[in-house]
Structure 1
Amino acid sequence: MILRALRETNAKDYASEIIERVERSFRPDAVLQLIGKRTVFVAAIDGRVVGTASLDGNVVRTVFVSPDVQGQGIGKRLMATVERTARERNISTLAVPSSISAETFYAQLGFKAVRDSYHGDERTIIMERSLQDRP
């Protein structure tokens, strides 16, 4: 699911070499290691995983929604769960390293771009949102 979402959602904004490099970070063994280090949230429909998000300290990571269910509010609900968990942990600001493809999604949730980050030719937009301005 993650790899399909990565390929199909980001293909218009990133070269295939960049997508292939990022895909290597989501091999099954790599995902198992991430689960041990982060708080991971999963969305499922009829027992099928259709979305993921994780919280790593105050950083939101691995937000993916299967392309066939995008636009149905799954990503928004996952982010609400991440935010609720962050508030319970007294985290005052969330950060997210956003792909170009997801920048609008995060902006609609109140995140603001603060800087660009580059891993080789891969551009990531670092976005932040204060949790102190909303209940």
Structure 2
Amino acid sequence: MVWELTVRPASDDDADAVSRLIVAALRETNARDYAPEIIARVEQSFSPPAMLQFFRKRQVCVAVAGNRIVGTASLDGATVRSVFVDPEFQGLGVGRRLMSEVEQAARANGVTVLTVPSSVTAEPFYSRLGFHAVRDSFHGDERTIIMERSLE
């Protein structure tokens, strides 16, 4: 697979594609670690209208290969949120590139400790990037691992 990856800020025109990408990643990747009812509940948080709201409240970026959005990540203050990569592009450096962009934005905003509420699925990914688990958080039966990394 030959493609050039670019990362840019998300625009309103990206809402549908980002929503589809996140739902695909939830259904194909996160479904290994979470029950179907949890996946269905989480999907509702990532509808196109919800994405538009995120675009206004957070610094959201998208990774583009060719003309296809293949990943997304956002920064909400000192917290990394909604890092998802198209299942076809997982393991190819897209997530690492997105995290690099988010980290640069955090540093530019004066953030010294970056936090990420990680899914069980993504914990090994964030660990490889130097994050360490601080505590578990539960939203009903959905387990999230709160992880941190110093930027100093």
> Is structure 2 residue 142 aligned with structure 1 residue 122?
yes
Query: Unaligned regions of 5+ residues in structure 1, if any?
Result: none
- CA distance in 2 between counterparts of 1:3 and 1:83 reads 24
Identity of matched residues, % = 64
Where does residue 63 of structure 2 map in the other structure? 43
- CA distance in 1 between counterparts of 2:49 and 2:109 reads 28
Regions of 4+ moved over 6 Å: none
**TM-score w.r.t. length of structure 2:** 0.86
**TM-score w.r.t. length of structure 1:** 0.97
Correspondence for 1:85 among 105, 110, 113: 105
Q: What is the CA distance between 1:7 and its match in structure 2?
A: 1.1
Where does residue 53 of structure 2 map in the other structure? 33
- The count of aligned residue pairs is 132
Counterpart of 2:80 in 1: which secondary structure? strand
- CA distance in 1 between counterparts of 2:47 and 2:69 reads 16
Counterpart of 1:31 in 2: which secondary structure? helix
Correspondence for 2:128 among 102, 108, 120: 108
Counterpart of 1:91 in 2: which secondary structure? coil
- CA distance in 2 between counterparts of 1:6 and 1:60 reads 17
Amino acid at match of 2:52: L
Counterpart of 1:110 in 2: which secondary structure? coil
Where does residue 64 of structure 1 map in the other structure? 84
Amino acid at match of 1:127: M
Correspondence for 1:94 among 111, 114, 135: 114
Correspondence for 1:19 among 39, 48, 55: 39
Q: Which has the higher helix share?
A: 2
Superposed CA deviations along residues 46-76 of structure 1, whole A, max 9, x for unmatched, are 1100000000000000100000011110000
